[in-house]
Amino acid sequence: MENRDNARDPWVEAQIAALDSEGEGQWKPNAGAALVRHGARVRRERFLRRSLWSLASAAAIVIAVLILQAPTACATPRGCAVHWWNALFTISASQPDSEIPAYKIIGRRDAPVTIEVFTDYECPACAALYRDTMPQLMRDFVDTGKVRIIHRDFPLNIHAYSNLAARYANAAGEAGYYQAAVNRLFETQAQWSKTGDIAAALADVVPTAVLQSVAADRDRTVANDVAQGRRDQLSQTPTLVIVWKGSRQPVAPVPDYERLKAYLNEVLR
Amino acid sequence: MNAAVEISAGRFDFDTFFQANYGRIAHAIARIVGDHARAEDLAAEAFWKLWRTPKAQGENAGGWVYTAAIRLGLNELRGSARRRKYEAEAGPAIAARTPEQERAAAEQREHVRRILAKLDARDAELLLLRGADFSYAEIAGALDINPASVGTLLSRAQQAFRKEYVRNYGEPG
């Protein structure tokens, strides 16, 4: 194999060899200095690697903690937590009434206080709010013109059917059956949240034609409500956002009715 | 090829290897790029690559770092900015030659470098490794090619060099 003559072109080899004649005798590369520079580069590289590992480890721990803290179920009496990433990078702002469907607003337009009620139809605490607190709130504050209510959808991604339920309720609202649909959804939450058969739950309070229109419906109302909730930095459902003299104050978890009543009376005084 | 590879009891002594081979590697690159300061930079880079490639730190480290150095030199040579610089600069003077002889030699070296830059990378590497007195087995190991093919590939590389030279500068005198 070592028969070099087979491949030999003396002229080409001479040309390559001629490169050697360029001042070689006068130049001595400084290996010592180069090794010192190499050592410094190695130390920088090792420091950078250690720093990156430390940062990566810290980031991994933070992410793990946040993931472990994220809710996987929603059975607490005080409400359902919003995933941590939904609460990031939010800015509070109010939405004009003109952008809110009329069927979601209950009470006098000129009421001094507005309460925006952010709920998730699969959230047990939201169902309890509608069952226990809302009737009293309506009686003492809405019917008397002191407060108006805006229902807001805030379906959490830990729930499989809450977004669809909100679209059913809003379709019913467009047809004039909003309050009946909302009440029925919360009353029958335990049933349809297992099967996803929301239409069956609403069958006797909302006309069939309305229920059949939901599948093709592209409801922006839910998205608008969710966007507003994120701007308000919601951390859980249910949350009441008290709107008074231009300020927005999220209240969560929702206190018992007597405390809420005292708070509202204080604001209205 | 007399690569000074320092391996004791299976453990690679990088610093000793560096000290023993740095000058040889820098000279090899200087032949290609014709710039001593730049050759030292690229030699340091070749050793850096070796340091970051633990699997290359063994018996064949000499060939590995030499091949890496040649590739760095050829890449440098292909840079248009560097070529322009070479066009503007004359090589260092050698006392034994007349100014006219030195000018002609410098011009010829520049022609060789331009041809090397235009050749297929593997052809240029083959010619430079052969020029550094690597054996066929060492060339095969350094370029990861079949040892039985080295002669044929080297012959083709020489033909390619000659053809490209003639195309650019005419038949050599």
Contacts 24+ apart (CB under 8 A), B52-60: B57/B12, B57/B14, B57/B17, B58/B7, B58/B12, B59/B5, B59/B7, B60/B141, B60/B142
- Give the B window 69-108 contacts with A, CB below 8 Å: 91-94, 105-106, 108
Q: Is the pLDDT of residue A163 over 50?
A: yes
Query: Which backbone phi and psi does A250 adopt, to 5 degrees?
Result: -70, 135
d(CA A112, CA B27): 87
Query: Which backbone phi and psi does A94 adopt, to 5 degrees?
Result: -100, 150
The DSSP annotation for B129-165 comes to HHHTT--HHHHHHHHT--GGGHHHHHHHHHHHHHHHH
DSSP 8-state symbol, A159: -
A164 in Cβ contact with A198 (< 8 Å)? yes
Domains along the sequence of chain B with CATH: 7-169 (1.20.140)
pLDDT value for A88: 45
d(CA B83, CA A171): 73
Structure tokens at A256: 């018992």
DSSP 8-state symbol, A142: I
Chain A residues with CB-CB distance to B131 below 8 A: 13, 16-17, 19
Interchain pair A29, B40: CB under 8 A: yes
pLDDT tens-place string over residues A116-137:
999 999 999 999 999 999 999 9
Q: Is the pLDDT of residue A5 over 80?
A: no
Q: Is B52 exposed, middle or buried (0-12, 13-18, 19+ CB in 10 A)?
A: exposed
pLDDT value for B91: 46
Task: Please tell me which residue of chain B has the smallest CA distance to A14.
Answer: B131
ipTM attached to this prediction: 0.74
Interchain pair B159, A31: CB under 8 A: no
| B163 part of contact set with chain A, CB < 8 Å | no
Angle subtended at Cα A119 by Cα A116 and Cα A123, rounded to the nearest 5 degrees? 160
Reported pTM: 0.48
Chain A residues with CB-CB distance to B47 below 8 A: 34, 38
What percentage of chain A reaches a pLDDT higher than 90? Answer: 46
| B114 part of contact set with chain A, CB < 8 Å | no
What is the mean pLDDT of the segment spanning A11-35?
A: 79
Cα B167 from chain centre: 23
d(CA A53, CA A60): 10
Per-residue pLDDT of chain B (173 residues; tens, 9 = 90+): 444 444 444 578 898 999 999 998 998 898 888 888 889 999 999 999 999 998 888 888 888 999 999 999 988 888 754 555 555 554 444 445 677 877 888 888 889 999 999 999 899 999 988 888 888 888 888 888 898 999 999 999 999 999 999 999 888 76
pLDDT value for A30: 86
Residue A44 neighbours by CB under 8 Å, 6+ apart: none
Interchain pair A28, B23: CB under 8 A: yes
| B151 part of contact set with chain A, CB < 8 Å | yes
Higher pLDDT, A154 or A1: A154
Helix ranges (DSSP H) in chain B: 14-33, 36-51, 61-78, 80-88, 99-118, 121-131, 136-143, 150-169
Task: Please tell me which residue of chain A has the smallest CA distance to B146.
Answer: A1
The residue whose two tokens read 């090397």 is: B116
| B127 part of contact set with chain A, CB < 8 Å | yes
User: Quick one: pLDDT band at residue A23, thresholds 50, 70, 90?
Assistant: low
Q: Assign A101 to helix, strand or coil.
A: coil
B127 in Cβ contact with B158 (< 8 Å)? yes
CA separation, residue A35 to residues A18, A40, A45, B24, B66 (Å): 29, 9, 15, 14, 17
